[in-house]
Amino acid sequence: MTALRMVFYLLAILIVASTAMAITRKNLVHAVLYLVQSFFATAALFYLLGAPVLAALEIIIYAGAIMVLFLFIIMTLIGGYTGSRNHRQWIFPSLLGLASIVSAGVLLFSSPASETGLIAATASPASFGRYLFDKYWLPIEIVSLLLFVALVGALYLGTHKGKSVAQIEVEQ
């Protein structure tokens, strides 16, 4: 078994484990952090499979923008995060993070010419963008419109602090 194949299986285990931890956590901040870990492992998996553009998009859009938005919403709803003093709860997240860093290091510092790895399907960013916007321009525009409507709705509800949707409707 080659090193790249072992990294593939390690990343698959990391994705499943961190996503399972995100689903089962009662603390919302911990769940979001496990989900971020899952997104980073997914990005490393995309990079391993020869899609560096998708790996970058995974980190920028999902692990960056969407998770920051989730954390902002959670902090707004629950008022803040007071971490517990129990240090045993950091063991499993630390192991997941260490495994992710090791697998990313193996990916970045291993020479692909030295071993026969997985067959990579590569595409340049220009050809990927051309294909995406030629074939799927309507779904992309629909998603962007839905995200814009959600943003306007969140801003509208956020300007009326302490009021429910029913109270806002009554005032109008």
pTM, to two decimals = 0.54
Per-residue pLDDT, averaged over 9-18, amounts to 90
Please identify, in words, the CATH class of the domain defined by 3-123.
mainly alpha
Q: Calculate what percentage of the chain has a pLDDT beyond 70.
A: 79
Q: What is the pLDDT of residue 68?
A: 77
- DSSP 3-state assignment of 163? coil
pLDDT band at 15 (very low <50, low <70, confident <90, very high): very high
| Whether the predicted pLDDT of 114 surpasses 70 | no
Is the model's pLDDT at 141 over the cut of 70? yes
